[in-house]
């Protein structure tokens, strides 16, 4: 088991991406679950993730990010 830090771009690949970057992010996450790794990130990541969805009037995507990072119950 390891502590793995994800920066903003990996969350974007996972949630909004397609193609190879999305597939790699999903494989990485699946491998982390199998290994029981701890996923960590910074508080700034959530702020960075919310900028584009809120600018694009996509509260649905903003809520998905908040749920993913545990910012919403």
Domain boundaries, the chain: 3-68
CB atoms within 10 A of CB 4: 16
Report the predicted TM-score, pTM, of the whole model to 2 decimal places. Answer: 0.81
For 16-63, write each residue's pLDDT tens digit: 888 999 999 999 999 999 999 999 998 899 899 999 999 999 999 999
Per-residue confidence (pLDDT) for residue 4, from 0 to 100: 94
Per-residue confidence (pLDDT) for residue 72, from 0 to 100: 58
Q: In what helix (H) or strand (E) does residue 29 lie, and over which residues does it extend? A: helix 19-35
| Exposed/middle/buried for residue 47 (C-beta within 10 Å: 0-12, 13-18, 19+) | exposed
Residues paired with 39 in a beta bridge: 4
């Amino acid at each position: 088991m390891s502590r793995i830090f994800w920066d903003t771009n990996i969350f974007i690949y996972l949630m909004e991406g397609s193609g190879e970057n999305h597939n790699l992010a999903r494989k990485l996450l699946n491998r982390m679950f199998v290994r029981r790794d701890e996923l960590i990130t910074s508080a700034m990541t959530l702020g960075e993730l919310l900028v584009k969805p809120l600018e694009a009037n996509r509260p649905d995507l903003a809520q998905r990010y908040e749920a993913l990072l545990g910012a919403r119950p």
